[in-house]
Amino acid sequence: MELTPTGTVILGFLSEGEKSGYDIKTQVDKSTRFFWTASYGQIYPELRRLKDAGMIEEAGPSEGERKRIAYRLTEDGRRTFEQWLLAPASTLEMRHEGLLKLFFADSVDTRHRQDLISGIAQQHREKLDQLKAVEAGIEQADDELACDLVLRFGIEFQEWIIDWCERETRRKEA
User: Hey, how many other C-beta atoms are within 10 angstroms of the C-beta on 114?
Assistant: 16
Over the stretch 83-128, which tens digit does the pLDDT of each residue have? 999 999 988 888 899 999 999 998 888 889 899 999 999 999 999 9
Instruction: With respect to residue 127, please indicate whether it lies within any of the assigned structural domains.
Output: yes
Tally of structural domains, the chain:
2
Last residue of a domain, one of 86, 112, 128: 86
Residue 52 pLDDT more than 90?
A: yes
Q: What is the pTM for the complete model shown?
A: 0.76
Query: Do 67 and 114 share a structural domain?
Result: no
Residue 64 pLDDT more than 90?
A: no
Query: Do 71 and 102 share a structural domain?
Result: no
Burial of residue 46 (CB within 10 Å: 0-12, 13-18, 19+) is buried
3-state helix, strand, coil in the chain (%, to 5): 65, 5, 30
Look up the CATH number of the domain holding residue 51: 1.10.10.10
Instruction: With respect to residue 92, please indicate whether it lies within any of the assigned structural domains.
Output: no
Query: Do 102 and 69 share a structural domain?
Result: no
Q: Are strands 56-61 and 19-20 parallel, antiparallel or unpaired?
A: unpaired
State mean pLDDT over 1-21: 93
Residue 141 pLDDT more than 60?
A: no
From residue 88, give the alpha-carbon distance in Å to each of 1, 91, 113.
18, 9, 38
Query: Distance between CA 7 and CA 38 in Å, rounded?
Result: 10
Q: Which residues contact 22 (CB under 8 A, 6 or more apart)?
A: 62, 66, 68
Mean of per-residue pLDDT scores for the chain: 89
Query: Do 102 and 165 share a structural domain?
Result: yes
Over the stretch 26-41, which tens digit does the pLDDT of each residue have? 999 988 888 888 999 9
State mean pLDDT over 6-11: 94
Query: Distance between CA 67 and CA 147 in Å, rounded?
Result: 29
The whole domain housing 111 covers 97-173
Chain centroid to Cα 109, Å, comes to: 35
